[in-house]
Structures are given as structure tokens and as C-alpha cells.
């Protein structure tokens, strides 16, 4: 019995260390999961005990965030795997798929936010202990804001899109919770001073604002995730920066043909086709690839750069004299 107990304690200790390994990119989604479970449980329980539809709805939204956090954990855990024979370009698409699924789910949750906002003032203002609801809302908002700041630091460190998306969600949730808190406070004041009509008008305006905010983020990131799944090329500003690197190296090759790019999670795959002198060696081509790769990685640290070289058709040789522009530049 003692050996079995020791075995289970060791297993529990190992699982705990793995779950709370703060240097792992999955650390933040796991902390997010625990916070979402806490907010969901407390919100639903408080909403039921205080007969507050708004707080209960807030708890249900946090419960949906629990599902999102579980989705994020699975996606980041997959995305950290290296490319292999099955997935030559890595597992970054799991991030895009998880973001698209989460965005779709949050779009439907926006309807709950609408119910939350519409029923907010009425139930809170007639509650027996509205200040408890206000305190809970303020505390939730502070926790969400802190979680957004921590997640953003981890996102900048590991450069996973899912973490950037999670940070944006927490930031949006904290901002919406601030609006909710202000709505409760102003609504209590208006209703207690006999301005019930103004309170209901404010409630309607806040409802529209909350729904607009709730829809904005899923639409933005959902579209970005869909573009990545469909292997759409990089944004125009990123393409222009890459072309700037090409223009700085035009003297190093005979002809620039094309540049192709795609993104899989945090990895950006960039492939460039150029024409070089027919008698250049593989070593020369490799040296040029490394030379161009340096500024590309300065722009995008997670970029994987490849250069494909085609030998020139020797059309620069006329009457036995070579007029190769690349060689002329090198010989100067």
C-alpha cells in the first residue's frame, strides 16, 4: 500500500511539474484554463445565489472560455512539434485551425453577450446585494487584465500566434468587464435616483457596444486563421519588406524571378527564385542564400528562408566576351 501511494505521489508530482513548467509555451494556456474555471464557477454560483442573470451569463461565457483554453493547450502542444516525414512544414496549422474554431465559437457566444447586456441593469439594480456583483465584476476585470499582460509577454517570447490571440481575448474580456462594471455602477445610481428610463437607454447602448466588441475579434482573427489554412501569401506590408531585402541584393544575381511565402503557425516559409552566372558553384549559391537570410531573419525571426538558383542561359556572352553584370560588380 505504501509503495502504491508513493507511486501515485510521484506521478502526481511529475504531472504537476509538467503542467506548471513556466518555461514551456503551454504554461500560459494552462493557467488560463484554471482562471477560466474559477471565473466560470464563481460567476455561475454568484449569479444563481444573487438571482442575477448578468453575472450568471458572465459565468457561462467564462465556461465557454474553458473550452477555448483546452483547445489552445492542445493546439500549442501540437504546434511545438518539429517537422517530420508526415508534416514536412511542421504542425503550425493546428494553431490556425484552433483559432478558426475558437473564433467561430466566440461568434455564437456574442449572442449570449447580447443577452448578458440587455438583462444586465434590470437584474443587478433590483438585486439585494448589487455591490457584491460590482466587486466581483471589478475583481474579474483586474484578473483578466493581468492575464492579458502575462500572456502577451509569453506570446512575444515564443512567437506563437495562438498566444497572441489568447492575449487579445483576455484584453478584450478585461475591457468588456470594465464596461460591465461601469454599467452596474451608473445603473445603480440612475435607478436609485428615479431615472429608470435613462438606465434602460444606457443599457441598450451598452448592449450594442458589447456585441460589437464581441464580434470584432473573432471576425478579425478568424479571417487571418482561414487565410493561413488556405495558404494565402503574406500581407502586402510583409511582402514589401521582403522585396526591400531583394532590392538590396540585386547586384548579387543576374535575374530575380519570384518570391513565394506561406505561414504555418509561427513559422514563415519564404522561397525565392533567382538566376545566377552559369559557372557559379554551389558554394557561391549557398553563400548568397546565407547573406540574404540574415536580413530576412532580422525582419521575421521565425522565417525559414530557401533560395532556388537557376544558371543563366549565357546570353551575356557576346563574341567571346562576358558582359555578366554580377561578375562586373565583383571584379570592381
State the pLDDT at residue 121. 47
Q: The domain 2-229 is classified under which CATH number: 1.10.287.3610, 1.10.150.530, 1.20.1510.10, 3.40.50.1820?
A: 1.20.1510.10
State the pLDDT at residue 293. 94
Question: Cα(145)–Cα(166) distance, rounded to whole angstroms?
Answer: 12
For residue 144, give Cα distances in angstroms to 26, 76, 239. 18, 21, 35
- The percentage of residues in the chain with a pLDDT greater than 70, rounded to a whole number, is 77
State the pLDDT at residue 124. 45
DSSP assignment of 6-41 equals: HHHHHHHHHHHHHHT-TTSTTHHHHHHHHHHHHHHH
Helices 53-79, 27-49: crossing angle, 10 deg rounding: 170
Question: Cα(233)–Cα(239) distance, rounded to whole angstroms?
Answer: 9
Biggest alpha carbon–alpha carbon distance for the chain = 99
- How many residues comprise the chain? 332
Question: Cα(9)–Cα(5) distance, rounded to whole angstroms?
Answer: 6
Same CATH topology for 2-229 and 236-331?
A: no
Tell me the pLDDT tens digit for each residue of 116-167.
Answer: 555 554 544 445 577 787 888 899 889 999 999 999 998 888 877 778 888 8
Query: In the predicted model, is pLDDT for residue 34 greater than 70?
Result: yes
State the pLDDT at residue 297. 92
- The three grid cell numbers given for residue 105, joined into one nine-digit string: 465559437
Contacts of 271 (CB under 8 A, 6+ apart): 259, 260, 261, 305, 306, 307, 308
Query: In the predicted model, is pLDDT for residue 112 greater than 80?
Result: no
Confidence of residue 79 (pLDDT cuts 50, 70, 90): confident
Question: Strand 303-311 to strand 321-322: parallel, antiparallel, or no bridges (unpaired)?
Answer: unpaired
User: Domain ranges in the chain?
Assistant: 2-229, 236-331
Tell me the pLDDT tens digit for each residue of 194-225.
Answer: 776 676 667 666 666 766 776 777 777 777 77
State the pLDDT at residue 43. 80
Tell me which residue of 158, 170, 179, 171 sits closest to 54, measured CA to CA: 179
For the chain, the helix, strand and coil percentages under 3-state DSSP, each to the nearest 5: 70, 10, 20
- The three grid cell numbers given for residue 229, joined into one nine-digit string: 489554412
Mean pLDDT over all residues of the chain?
Answer: 78
State the pLDDT at residue 309. 92
Question: Strand 317-318 to strand 321-322: parallel, antiparallel, or no bridges (unpaired)?
Answer: antiparallel
- The three grid cell numbers given for residue 31, joined into one nine-digit string: 493557467
What is the arithmetic mean of pLDDT over 243-249?
90
Query: In the predicted model, is pLDDT for residue 7 greater than 80?
Result: no
State the pLDDT at residue 211. 65
Question: Cα(44)–Cα(60) distance, rounded to whole angstroms?
Answer: 7
Confidence of residue 2 (pLDDT cuts 50, 70, 90): low
Question: Cα(20)–Cα(196) distance, rounded to whole angstroms?
Answer: 49
Contacts of 83 (CB under 8 A, 6+ apart): 89, 90, 91
Virtual CA dihedral for 31, 59, 109, 159, nearest 10 degrees? -10
- Poorest-confidence range of 65-74, 120-129, 224-233? 120-129
Residue 275 DSSP class? E
* 98/241: higher pLDDT: 241
State the pLDDT at residue 57. 64
Architecture of domain 236-331: 2-Layer Sandwich (3.30)
Amino acid at each position: 500500500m505504501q509503495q502504491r501511494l508513493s507511486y501515485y505521489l510521484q506521478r502526481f508530482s511529475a504531472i504537476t511539474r509538467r503542467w506548471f513548467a513556466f518555461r514551456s509555451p503551454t504554461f500560459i494556456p494552462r493557467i488560463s484554463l484554471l482562471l477560466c474555471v474559477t471565473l466560470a464557477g464563481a460567476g455561475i454560483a454568484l449569479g444563481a445565489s444573487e438571482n442575477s442573470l448578468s453575472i450568471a451569463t458572465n459565468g457561462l461565457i467564462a465556461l465557454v472560455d474553458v473550452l477555448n483554453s483546452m483547445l489552445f493547450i492542445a493546439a500549442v502542444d501540437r504546434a511545438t512539434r518539429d517537422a517530420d516525414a508526415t508534416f514536412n512544414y511542421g504542425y503550425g496549422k493546428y494553431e490556425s485551425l484552433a483559432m478558426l474554431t475558437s473564433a467561430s465559437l466566440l461568434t455564437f457566444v456574442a449572442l449570449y453577450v447580447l443577452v448578458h447586456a440587455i438583462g444586465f441593469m434590470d437584474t443587478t439594480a433590483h438585486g439585494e446585494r448589487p455591490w457584491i456583483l460590482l466587486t466581483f465584476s471589478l475583481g474579474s476585470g483586474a484578473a483578466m487584465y493581468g492575464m492579458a499582460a502575462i500572456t502577451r509577454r509569453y506570446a512575444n517570447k515564443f512567437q506563437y500566434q495562438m498566444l497572441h490571440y489568447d492575449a487579445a481575448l483576455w484584453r478584450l474580456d478585461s475591457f468588456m468587464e470594465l464596461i460591465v462594471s461601469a454599467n452596474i455602477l451608473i445603473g445603480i445610481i440612475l435607478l436609485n435616483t428615479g431615472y429608470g428610463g435613462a438606465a434602460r437607454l444606457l443599457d441598450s447602448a451598452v448592449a450594442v457596444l458589447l456585441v460589437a466588441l464581441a464580434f470584432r475579434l473573432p471576425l478579425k482573427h478568424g479571417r487571418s486563421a482561414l487565410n493561413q489554412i488556405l495558404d494565402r501569401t503574406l500581407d502586402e506590408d510583409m511582402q514589401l519588406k521582403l522585396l526591400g531585402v531583394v532590392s538590396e541584393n540585386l547586384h548579387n544575381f543576374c535575374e530575380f524571378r519570384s518570391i513565394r511565402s506561406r505561414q504555418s503557425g509561427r513559422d514563415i516559409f519564404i522561397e525565392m527564385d533567382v538566376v545566377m552566372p552559369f559557372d557559379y558553384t554551389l558554394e557561391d549559391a549557398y553563400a548568397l542564400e546565407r547573406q540574404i537570410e540574415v536580413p530576412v531573419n532580422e525582419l521575421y525571426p521565425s522565417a525559414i528562408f530557401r533560395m532556388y538558383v537557376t544558371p543563366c542561359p549565357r546570353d551575356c556572352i557576346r563574341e567571346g566576351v562576358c558582359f555578366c553584370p554580377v561578375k562586373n560588380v565583383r571584379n570592381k
